[in-house]
Amino acid sequence: MVQFCSEAEAQRMFGEFVIRWKACRGTTVTTYLHNANNAELYQKVTDVRVDGPVLSATVINSDNQQDAEFPTERALGITGDCIVDVDVAVTGGTPAQRKPAGRAVNLATAMLGRVR
């Protein structure tokens, strides 16, 4: 959680995050590890949406080593002069359990409810 100097500043930053995240929709970032396997990590930004005070996205993580894909759920929420940031990597369980399911949005919403 980050507390800004004013509600207006928090709102300005949240609006900027919305613009930037939407601009990244569909973009894949490649990270080259330069290791013995020449591993490459891929992160594709998907499902960017705004629902009231919560901005969310899913980042699909994969690599060139044939490891299983997994999602990282992201959410930013705003209330008053505060923004909460949640990142949930879904790496365990069966393939059916490694699907985006609103975990980050649920956590961000719960955190927003506790900000005073």
Name the one residue in this structure whose structure tokens are 């690599």: 63
- What pLDDT score was predicted for residue 17? 97
- What pLDDT score was predicted for residue 92? 81
- What pLDDT score was predicted for residue 16? 97
Contact 65, 54 (CB under 8 A): no
Name the one residue in this structure whose structure tokens are 């299983």: 68
Mind listing the domains of the chain with CATH numbers?
A: 2-114 (3.40.1000.70)
> Has this prediction a pTM greater than 0.75?
yes
SS3 state at 110? helix
Q: How far is CA 51 from CA 23, 25, 39, 40, 105, in A?
A: 17, 16, 36, 33, 10
What is the side-by-side order of every strand in the sheet holding 40-51?
2-3, 82-89, 70-79, 54-63, 40-51, 28-32
Which stretches of the chain score pLDDT less than 70?
none
- What pLDDT score was predicted for residue 95? 80
Burial of 30 (0-12, 13-18, 19+ CB in 10 A): exposed
